[in-house]
Structure 1
């Protein structure tokens, strides 16, 4: 993976962009557990403004399942890619999900591994299973070795390495594949893509947008093929809020059921 120069001054977001955003570690800070993440104040309003300014060409592309993303982003209902591309909901509300053959025995093996190594957390997702080791970082190498051995004769499945998490998913699923599918459809079709992410699971997304003439933006340190970088999620949220204010200054979000 090439190292790129750190560029922490992004050009203003323009109205011809197709905007793709990761969630954990990108829009929101990573929490000790997936269910402990919080949505920062003002984020929903910013995303509403940007969706309006971009004529709907805004999608969240995440490792989380669609149902979790909808709950976190309520009342927004955005185009989404979940579980690293295993699930995808298009702008016209059509949902697709890739099949994950031979996953049930893998789920059982991952659960058994977590029982042997204290501090590991198993997260079962539609079409995938994740093993978090944030609470036991010393167990990470042993867990990874065990999963690689488990998948050695299962070419239809792949191991994805994120921040303190190992995930088994269908080999054909990726964030890059999901972004390319969005770019073939309205309202993303014909726009210049920009994808923001924070870890190794986002690298194929960076490659996809940059191959299409767009820009990948890496959040935080570490090697990346992304062409630009921001230091942390707070810096991204600030840039998105300033972009929303410039592109949609008169936008008034519709009232929600709670208002």
Structure 2
């Protein structure tokens, strides 16, 4: 896949963060952002007239911290919170998480390698340090969510998460596409996880393109090997659009 040929001034580019822009880490707070990536994203945003947004399961505040001083349009917590290109914040209605929190905390207390992550309207249970506990985590969270109206269960890479039923990366992308500077553009969404599949389906339904990073089944029409490969493609695209020849 040649990203230079895909990206046009009329595109709207949507990017997942973990496993897509940055390599996965043993713990969510341990990821590292290569410094050249900030310059690449800033240049891409300029080329696209600001039509570049991140679509992440992380809270917006975490994304801002990792990308500081760059401040981009972002959908966080799978679209539960969203900051438009103009800086306006939209927060979806959330639902009580008390029962899910009780179940997840009890499980984590028995298995110290599990990690709880509390976000706005969402609770994630990470089992990256204890992959053999996957089914136990899934079963416990499924049962807790089934008893918690308004919540749905989302499975990702070594994580299972309770979130508001109305939140999804696809809905967040559609919301951006109704606003300047994204409106009227051809959407491209790049992600790596099963949580990104609804985003791929959304942009392709809207005559755009989904690009899957890594292996595994996907509805995306294009694929890249790794986050490092994506960073290289983005950097190459920036150089090409600037009329430069990459060394």
SS of the equivalent of 1:42 reads helix
Equivalent residue number for residue 80 of structure 2: 86
Give the 4+ runs in structure 1 shifted more than 4 A: none
Task: Find the aligned partners of 1:138 and 1:97 in 2 and give their Cα distance.
Answer: 35
Contact 1:217 1:230 in 2 (8 A): yes
Q: Take 1:12 and 1:142, find their aligned partners in 2: how far apart are those partners?
A: 42
Shift of 1:155: 4.1
Matches within 5 A, 1:186-197: 186-197=180-191
The answer on whether the counterparts of 1:14 and 1:247 sit within 8 Å (CA) in structure 2 is: no
Partner residue in 1 for 2:167: 173
CA distance in 1, matches of 2:235, 2:2: 15
Higher relative contact order (CA 8 A, sep 6+): 1
Question: How far 1:154 moved relative to its partner?
Answer: 2.7
1:37 equivalent in structure 2: 31
User: What does residue 66 of structure 1 align with?
Assistant: 60
Q: Deviations over 1:29-59 (max 9, x none)?
A: 0000011000023100000000000000000
From 204, 210, 220, give the equivalent of 1:210: 204
CA contact (8 A) 2:169 2:198 kept: yes
* Aligned equivalent of 2:213, options 219, 222, 226: 219
* Gaps in structure 2 of 5+ consecutive residues: none
Q: 2:51 aligns with which of 57, 77, 81?
A: 57
Whose helix fraction is larger, Structure 1's or Structure 2's?
Answer: 2
Alignment match, 2:89: 95
Farther off after superposition, 218-227 or 91-100: 91-100
Aligned residue number for residue 237 of structure 1: 231
Q: Deviations over 1:14-40 (max 9, x none)?
A: 111000000000000000001100002
User: 3-state SS of the aligned residue for 1:68?
Assistant: helix
Query: Does structure 2 retain, via aligned residues, the 8 Å contact 1:21–1:59?
Result: yes
Contact 2:156 2:195 in 1 (8 A): yes
Shift in Å at residue 249 of structure 1? 4.6
Q: Provide the residue aligned with 1:118 in structure 2.
A: 112
8 Å Cα contact 1:12-1:243 kept in structure 2: no
Provide structure 1 residue ranges, at least 5 long, that are not aligned to the other structure: 1-7, 251-259
> What is the CA–CA distance in structure 2 between the aligned matches of 1:121 and 1:24, rounded to whole Å?
17
Instruction: Tell me how far 1:105 sits from its aligned partner.
Output: 3.0
Structure 1 residue 242 displacement after superposition? 1.2
When normalised by structure 1's length, the TM-score is: 0.91
